[in-house]
């Protein structure tokens, strides 16, 4: 992966993780944790959203929205596992 691509992935992951932490209150993991949650959320959303017919266009905003949706799903699942 090129350095610019890696940087873009980290920025998108950080923004998506922060947004997901704001949406799902009480589940912020700090800067590094939010980046990880955002990146994993993007991966999760990449698996789930196309299968249910939810597609978005390209671009940075679509990537952030996509990763945020996945990160919210991931945080919700983490909350269920932690409570159970």
In this structure, is residue 4 part of a structural domain? no
In this structure, is residue 66 part of a structural domain? yes
pLDDT at 26 over 70: no
pLDDT of residue 18: 86
In this structure, is residue 63 part of a structural domain? yes
Look at 12-16, 21-25, 55-59 and tell me which has the smallest mean pLDDT: 55-59
Please name the residue that has the structure tokens 């932490």: 21
Residue 28 — pLDDT band, cuts 50, 70, 90? Answer: low
Q: Which domain holds residue 15?
A: 10-83
Q: How many domains does the chain have?
A: 1
Which tokens in the block code for residue 70?
A: 């996945």
In this structure, is residue 54 part of a structural domain? yes
In this structure, is residue 5 part of a structural domain? no
Q: What is the helix, strand, coil percentage profile of the chain, to 5?
A: 80, 0, 20
In this structure, is residue 1 part of a structural domain? no
Q: Which helix (H) or strand (E) holds 77?
A: helix 60-83
Report d(CA 49, CA 32) in Å as an integer: 25
Which tokens in the block code for residue 13?
A: 């992951």
């Amino acid at each position: 992966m090129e350095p610019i691509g890696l940087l873009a992935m980290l920025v998108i992951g950080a923004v998506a993780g922060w947004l997901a932490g704001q949406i799902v209150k009480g589940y912020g993991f700090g800067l590094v944790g939010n980046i990880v949650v955002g990146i994993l959320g993007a991966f999760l959303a990449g698996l789930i959203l196309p299968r249910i017919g939810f597609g978005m266009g390209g671009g940075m905003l679509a990537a952030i929205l996509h990763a945020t949706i996945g990160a919210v799903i991931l945080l919700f699942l983490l909350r269920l596992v932690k409570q159970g």
